[in-house]
Structure 1
């Protein structure tokens, strides 16, 4: 048992300088040591995606509005084209604008509200089809 104890003591003495270095990195620096400020890495900045410009036409395709969310000027005329296989509408949830039923292959228009704001709309036939018209 004594040789094992002696080997452990020698191993501990040999490792002492290494362990001291490890411990000193967790202890506050002494008066002769200087510290440099720790600077967190900066977040990479990416340009915000630019929305495609609104052309004044909303296309109904595959039971969705394209674009679903868009911006129009106050009182602007918005064209709605239905490329689907069933009738759809683009109707403000508050009733402020409505294309009425737009048959497959047909086109209708609506006039954007004159007051700036965000207006939620949907298809009265398919309530899961939704979007937001922003007037600005």
Structure 2
């Protein structure tokens, strides 16, 4: 994926981005870090949304491992697509973490459901989120194959 051909992708300082969750796979983190050290950032951009109460800070909806790997590789910025939230969702901040919430349901929107919410308000975000779900599924299939 050529991140420079996606409209709206901008570089955001790593210090201004909150990851969606902690790193769960150290081997994946190490592989991404090594790739970034050798080639810089060549993969999918992060999909982020702005925090409503803070200026110039963002919640990443994707890319915990890429964000941590970029920091470990010494990068200062990450390519990000700033998604439009619309009226159906908002950033919910809690002591346990920050998540995207559904206005209608009043609960957390899981990553695999985000594309559905963004479809009506931000087709580019929807496409990037679908690509993220597909990539995660492909990684899971490869991990299962290696375990056999």
The TM-score with structure 1 as length reference comes to 0.21
Decide which structure has the larger Cα Rg and report it.
1
Higher-helix-fraction structure? 2
Higher relative contact order (CA 8 A, sep 6+): 2
Higher-strand-fraction structure? 1
